[in-house]
Amino acid sequence: MKSIKILVLLLFVCIGCKAQEVPTTFSQAALEDTFTTLDGQEISFQQILTKYQGKTILIDVWASWCKDCLQGLPKVKSLQEQEKNVVYLFLSLDRSIESWKFALEKYGIAGEHYYMQSGRKGDFGSFANLDWIPRYMVVSPEGAISLFRAVKADDPMIIEALK
């Protein structure tokens, strides 16, 4: 009986490990997802990444209605002061372009800004499994995802991935 319990436990552990595999590259669908620039142009996620090729990128998926996102902003601003060579890429899940732009001005958020037209259930959001925001990801200068998931701006994994 004890050996059966151990086998069942090991089976769950193995299944859990498989479920927690994290991607190191973006899916083709995520790369093709369309975002809106501050000046109203459409741009694919692939084009956004290409713009910052060769640089470390911190992606911050956020929204102005998200209390946790707003509480994390001072920590992100602190990161910006500490890690000046990083590109800070903010992807907004705001309900409208107007509220997104208003929040950028109101909170003085410096960085590169794009509006997620497809929302959290679009191709990028589905790839990233956006079940919570804020959501932080780090992309290496080589274009690999070096950190797939962090939900707090002061997560030590972010600092490690940015180095």
* pLDDT tens digit sequence for 74-122: 999 999 999 999 999 999 999 999 999 999 999 999 999 999 999 889 9
What residue segments make up the domains of the chain, in order of their start? 23-162
CA-to-CA distance for 105 and 55, rounded, in angstroms?
26
Nearest to 57 by CA among 91, 27, 29, 33: 91
pTM of the model: 0.86
CB contact at 8 A, 120 and 93: yes
Spatial strand order of the sheet with 145-150 comes to: 42-44, 34-36, 112-116, 87-92, 57-62, 135-139, 145-150
CA-to-CA distance for 105 and 109, rounded, in angstroms?
7
pLDDT per residue as tens digits for the range 132-146: 999 999 999 999 999
Q: Specify the DSSP element, H or E, that contains 55.
A: none
Under CATH, what is the fold of the domain 23-162? Glutaredoxin (3.40.30)
> What is the per-residue pLDDT for 20?
57
CA-to-CA distance for 145 and 142, rounded, in angstroms?
9
User: Burial level of 10, CB count in 10 A (0-12/13-18/19+)?
Assistant: exposed
